[in-house]
Amino acid sequence: MFKKGQKLYSITHQKCPHCHEGDFFEGSFFKAEVKERCPVCDSPYTKEVGFYQGSYYVVYALGVAVFVAIWVFIELFLPWVGFDGILYAVLTALIISAPFIYPLSKIIWANFFFHYNFGKTEKTHGETVKGEL
């Protein structure tokens, strides 16, 4: 559905934003620990210390999206549910989706700042890393 070179490919497959081949997370997706460097192209996954603190904005936006989606669904298809029911449904959905939203926010944040390089990647100090064209 998504092809290499598209940011959505990197996000949906949890791959390196630079080469779209190396894994972005250590271990499982739920662990949410970002690797320091790509195992394929050796590009760093951070620009500075505390880089991923900005992903909190993305977590907030994704949480609001879940809230709005649940609220609209209940208002359209279950209009007899009151405020308490909506509140419990939203809280349940946010608790269940939290293990997905947190790591997803990190890879979305990284894709805002890192771009696909089609086989060439540069290290932070200007040294060229081997790549295919």
| Residue 30: predicted pLDDT | 66
Q: Give dist(CA 49, CA 127) in Å, integer.
A: 21
**Per-domain boundaries in the chain:** 7-122
16 against 30, higher pLDDT:
16
Nearest Cα to 59, choosing from 11, 106, 9, 91? 106
Q: Give dist(CA 114, CA 34) in Å, integer.
A: 14
pLDDT in tens, 77-133: 999 999 999 999 999 999 999 989 999 999 999 999 998 886 554 444 444 445 444
Q: What are phi and psi of 87, to 5 degrees?
A: -60, -45
| Residue 39: predicted pLDDT | 92
SS3 121: strand
Query: Using an 8 Å Cβ cutoff, are 24 and 107 in contact?
Result: yes
